[in-house]
Amino acid sequence: MNIYLVRHGRQCSKLCNVDVELSKEGREQARLAGERLKKFSIDAVYSSNLIRAVETADLINESLNVERVIDPRFMEADFGDMTGMTNDELKEKYKDFLDQRARMIKDTPYPGGENCEMVFKRAFAALEDLVQKDYENVVVVTHGGVIRALFTGIVGADYAKWLTFGRQIENCSISHIMYDDVNKTYHLERLNDYAHIEDHDELLRKHFGSGFFVKKDK
């Protein structure tokens, strides 16, 4: 089975992990992803239950017209007490945590929320259920944290190193996991493939913000 993990389109808010709808740029990203995925003989489109993922998956499925499933286990990491804060607020209140996170020291949970290992365990459980289905090619619209966690856990890396897998994962990029149902093994085939949007500069994540990494003073 081929599992195509698609990060949701650009959302309409920069507040930390709020459950909001797509922006107009996000809808265009999803449309372009759907056009690209028409070439992949997709059998079903899954998504997390968060609004931005649901809308992205529905827009992609307008091009595919296949089975549509929502699985909450593919939702983004729980950011706990950080949810709903601005980048400036996060950098002021959680500077030490963000610095540790950026340097990948240990797999510390978001304050009041999840860490990589927690995200991996729930998302991988969903993946294990998915590969038992009678599909050949499946799209899963999910989130940057989930994609990083799945890649980290599948290769058996230190969970603290999850940012190694794409510091900047583009919205509506495609990451590809192949499952060998004979040997029961997972294979990482591609990460952060955004060829379908790279000619649309206004849709790239650099125009939305690069997240809340702490930059060192010079």
Residue type, 76: E
Active site residue 55: no
Active-site option among 25, 28, 55, 76: 76
Q: How many Å apart are CA 152 and CA 121, to the nearest integer?
A: 11
Give how far the C-alpha of residue 180 lies from the chain's centroid of Cα atoms, to the nearest Å.
22
SS3 content of the chain, % helix, strand, coil (to 5): 40, 15, 40
Active site residue 76: yes
Q: Exposed/middle/buried for 24, CB within 10 Å: 0-12, 13-18, 19+?
A: exposed
Q: Are 75 and 48 in contact (CB under 8 A)?
A: yes
Q: Exposed/middle/buried for 7, CB within 10 Å: 0-12, 13-18, 19+?
A: buried
- Residue 5: strand, helix, or coil: strand
Containing 175, the helix (H) or strand (E) segment is strand 174-180
Which residues are annotated as catalytic?
A: 8, 76
